């Protein structure tokens, strides 16, 4: 029988590798790290981490079964998230033409955190992924409350670390591109990726 510590040791690298792979939340952190710097991008990261933690908590408590029983709810997440992404992508493309300091003034901390949260919570893939990943790692012989707190905390920590890596990478890459006279390039690439992901959501069957 696999011990609880073995399950934990399997879960940590599994979730880390999945989390660190390029996806919507990581691209958002990279984009804001490039345009605003890591310090301001922290607010976006806080929102994203809160969103993924809420999804994990919901999955661990079993409430995600409601999304399976009521697929319309999943469709609402899908379309709201997709159109919000398109809006962010269009704004990101326009902001790429503006000096980063100007964008920085235009975004308050609450708005940044809300953007991160909305993108994270409206990602249907996060819901589907955590619904299927987390239950097998739960040990029926251990207190469920303790396991819920442990796994939610680990998910928040791992996601935060990876988001910081992307935000820092975006900041460093943008500085290098600015030195090459290509300061708009990374912002536009990030914006196009957001719009592409949104279109993929709209045409996908899940």
- 175-187 pLDDT, tens digit per residue, is 777 666 665 666 6
What Cα–Cα distance (Å) separates residue 26 from each residue in 83, 158, 163, 169? 18, 12, 6, 11
Average of per-residue pLDDT across 124-136: 76
Which of these, 99, 101, 92, lies nearest to 197 by C-alpha position?
Answer: 92
In this predicted model, what pLDDT tens digit does every residue of 50-79 receive, in sequence order? 999 999 988 887 755 555 566 676 677 677
Q: What's the mean pLDDT in 108-125?
A: 85
Between 158 and 87, whose confidence is greater? 158
Question: Of 17, 34, 28, which Cα lies nearest the Cα of 98?
Answer: 34
Q: Environment class of residue 162 by beta-carbon count within 10 Å: exposed (0-12), middle (13-18) or buried (19+)? A: buried
**Is residue 155 predicted with pLDDT exceeding 80?**
yes
Cα–Cα nearest to 12, from 123, 153, 118: 153
Mean of the pLDDT values across residues 80-93? 75
pTM of the model: 0.74
What pLDDT, on the 0 to 100 scale, is given for residue 101? 41
For 9-49, the pLDDT digits (tens) are 788 888 888 888 877 788 888 888 887 889 989 999 999 99
Between the CA of residue 150 and those of 48, 56, 134, 176, what are the distances in Å?
Answer: 19, 11, 12, 39
Give mean pLDDT, residues 157-181.
85
To 10 degrees, the CA torsion angle through 10, 16, 17, 23? 140
- pLDDT tier for residue 131 given thresholds of 50, 70 and 90: confident
């Amino acid at each position: 029988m696999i011990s609880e510590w073995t399950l934990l040791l399997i879960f940590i690298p599994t979730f880390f590798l999945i989390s660190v792979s390029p996806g919507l939340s990581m691209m958002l952190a990279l984009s804001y790290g490039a345009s605003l710097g890591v310090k301001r991008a922290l607010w976006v990261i806080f929102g994203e981490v809160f969103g993924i933690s809420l999804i994990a908590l919901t999955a661990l408590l079993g409430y995600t079964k409601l999304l399976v029983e009521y697929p319309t709810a999943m469709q609402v997440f899908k379309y709201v998230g997709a159109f919000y992404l398109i809006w962010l992508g269009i704004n990101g493309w326009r902001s790429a033409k503006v000096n980063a300091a100007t964008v920085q003034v235009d975004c308050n901390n609450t708005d940044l955190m809300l953007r991160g949260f909305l993108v994270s919570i409206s990602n249907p893939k996060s819901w589907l992924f955590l619904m299927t990943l987390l239950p097998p790692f739960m040990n029926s012989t251990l207190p469920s409350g303790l396991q819920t707190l442990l796994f939610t905390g680990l998910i928040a920590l791992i996601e935060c670390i990876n988001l910081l890596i992307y935000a820092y990478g975006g900041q460093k890459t943008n500085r290098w591109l600015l030195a090459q006279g290509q300061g708009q390039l990374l912002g536009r690439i990030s914006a196009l990726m957001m719009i592409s992901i949104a279109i993929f959501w709209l045409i996908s069957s899940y």
